[in-house]
Amino acid sequence: MKALVPIKRVADFNARIRVRPDGTGVDLANIKMSANPFDEIALEQAVRLREAGGVSEVIAVSIGSAQCRDVLRSALALGADRAILIRSDLTLEALAIAKLLATLVRAEGIGLAILGKQAIDDDAGQTGQMLAALLGWPQATFASSVELQGASAKVTREVDGGLQTIEVNLPAVITADLRLNTPRFVGLPAIMKAKQKPIEERDAESCGVSLGARLCVLRTEEPPTRKAGVMVKTVADLVDKLRLEAGVL
């Protein structure tokens, strides 16, 4: 069984994000880019399933510009068997990404798709669910534990009330939560070997998928500066401030 793991190239989680002065979006100039952390967790899980014998091949895919090759190199170093870049210079929305992934799933005969639960740039958390709907596959989202059991997968999910364990038939879509695993450290030899491995490229326009935007971002703004706290001596003072100054009582 083949496993597919999409890898998104995003601004590094340690980078300080700035909004463009005109409010048209985030300024990515001179910002370090890296693989989405949730996608790295998904890839680590796919590699572990392959090492356990449940998966025969792990395929990493990234959708975007030629710059996405760097995150695919990282995926190969982490343990992916193959890497595919679907080239597009457009800013693609979650539905277009899901449609491209569905096309690749059918072409490659994928039996398990493992995605990060969300990307840290837009926090949409939609692609996995949309992919499952397009394929007509069962889905297990926000996974903190994954076990393959023959023709099914046992998945523990993180929900508002605690943990929920479900079983889904394969093929299926699984999205990885933060506590699913800790990605392994990648040594220099693995990084050097990954540089020599080929990356297959495909053109998004040739996949027969509508890539047009359906959403329009009107304006991007930084969050308001948090006001300094105020110390009060008594509960009565606190109530007065909440009622008279803040107007919340």
Q: What is the pTM of this model?
A: 0.85
pLDDT digits (tens, 9 = 90+) for 197-215: 999 999 998 888 888 888 8
Higher pLDDT, 210 or 111: 111
Closest to 35 (Cα-Cα) out of 5, 76, 77, 68: 68
Higher pLDDT, 161 or 79: 79
Give the ranges where 15-157 is alpha helix by DSSP (H): 37-51, 69-78, 94-108, 127-135
Sequence letter at residue 62: S
| Greatest Cα pair distance in the chain | 70
What's the CATH superfamily of 2-219? HUPs (3.40.50.620)
Identify the pLDDT of residue 64. 92
Task: Count the alpha carbons within 13 Å of 82 in the hemisphere toward its beta carbon.
Answer: 13
pLDDT digits (tens, 9 = 90+) for 52-108: 999 999 999 999 999 999 999 999 999 999 999 999 988 899 999 999 999 999 999
Q: CA-CA distance, 232 to 134, in Å (whole number)?
A: 56
> How many other β-carbons are positioned within 10 Å of the β-carbon of residue 9?
22
Q: CA-CA distance, 161 to 179, in Å (whole number)?
A: 16
Residue 182: is its pLDDT beyond 80?
yes
| Residue 187 phi, psi dihedral angles, 5° rounding | -80, 165
Q: Give the single-character DSSP code of 179.
A: G
